[in-house]
Structure 1
């Protein structure tokens, strides 16, 4: 089962579990809030640790790939030349931005709209997103960057599995270099 289907199943299970928790009790609600804050602080600390590990390894291996074209655009994606260090730091930054967006949305729903269930659900989903993060798997869990963890990371498939992955083959890179050279002229 792919990550999106697993996330959907966990989310639906968490919603059912959240219904059974007496959130109207202030003490229980404070425990749920504390769990949410702990989860977010743990995630933030782990991403900072990952960033430190990436900088410590300082892997300057060149990484070339052609980014996939946008589904709404007719233009082919451009050639990206970076290092493993910069790529991993960029992926960590994306994960942290996603986490910050989740905190903002959950905070709005809880503090302004007075919904309590999203706080509980996001506590669980925050841990799941850490487990799914490829930079965490490589730099914390010590997994080898091969297969699904090979850089550049393949985009997570949608619910129906349709995605465009970055092209890493020599022919695609050469073609993107030609297109880039024509644009420069």
Structure 2
């Protein structure tokens, strides 16, 4: 069970079965559940801050060049050449993940306080911490994995659920031909 999509599914289903047996009508239990959810979010932010401090401490100034694909939402957008350092790239990816936590908190706030759903608090408390500990940044800076294969920078992004099961990835192009083409296109526009 090395595939995160499958482990997410198994943990979600297991957590939902456990949550069904919890006294979700008891106001005191709901208070504890809220405290647990907020604690999980704070732990997740703490882990990301720890990762950021490790990134800044290493300060890897290795140059990283890649071609960012054109945005599908903007039909006039063109692929863009990005030149960065490993430290800047890792820090920006970590900050992007932290913004994702805020979006998750906002969605959970809507589901819990407006829609009155309580069960997702339990499930998301588990899934958030799991997601942070399985992130590419955590694998590199906490668990000490080598930046090879799926952890080579820039990170390839998994598509939807079906793409993750088949192993298809998408994202920035790092091949020399794509970089050279983007450099030429950039010089033409100057």
Are the counterparts in 1 of residues 68 and 173 from structure 2 also a CA contact under 8 Å?
yes
Match of 1:148 in 2: 150
Deviation at 1:136, TM superposition (A): 1.1
Q: Per-residue CA shift, 1:8-53, capped at 9, x if unaligned?
A: 3432332232222111123322222222121111111111111111
- Conservation of the 8 A alpha-carbon contact between 2:112 and 2:118: yes
From 154, 168, 183, the equivalent of 1:177 is 183
Matches of 2:52 and 2:181, distance apart in 1: 33
In the alignment, is the contact (CA less than 8 A) between 2:64 and 2:85 conserved in 1?
Answer: yes
Pair 1:106 & 2:108 matched? yes
Q: Which residue of 2 aligns with 1:51?
A: 52
Runs of 5+ consecutive residues of structure 2 not aligned to the other structure:
none
Q: Deviations over 1:83-108 (max 9, x none)?
A: 11110011001100000111111122
Structure 2: distance between partners of 1:157 and 1:108: 26
Given that 2:66 and 2:82 are in contact with CA atoms closer than 8 Å, whether structure 1 keeps it comes out as: yes
Q: How much has 1:6 moved relative to structure 2? A: 3.6
Q: Is the 8 A contact 1:3 1:156 kept in 2?
A: no
The CA distance in 1 between the partners of 2:185 and 2:15, in whole Å, is 48
**CA distance in 1: counterparts of 2:181 and 2:77, whole angstroms:** 13
Please say if 1:38 is aligned against 2:39: yes
Q: TM-score, normalised by structure 1?
A: 0.90
Decide which moves more: 9-18 or 120-129: 9-18
1:139 to 125, 138, 141: 141
Number of equivalences: 184
Structure 1 window deviating more from structure 2 (174-183 vs 66-75): it is 66-75
2:9 is the counterpart of 1:3: no
Aligned-pair distance for 1:154? 0.6
Is the 2:158–2:170 contact (alpha carbons within 8 Å) kept by the matching residues of 1?
Answer: no
Equivalent residue of 1:160, what SS?
helix
Unaligned runs of at least 5 residues, structure 1: none
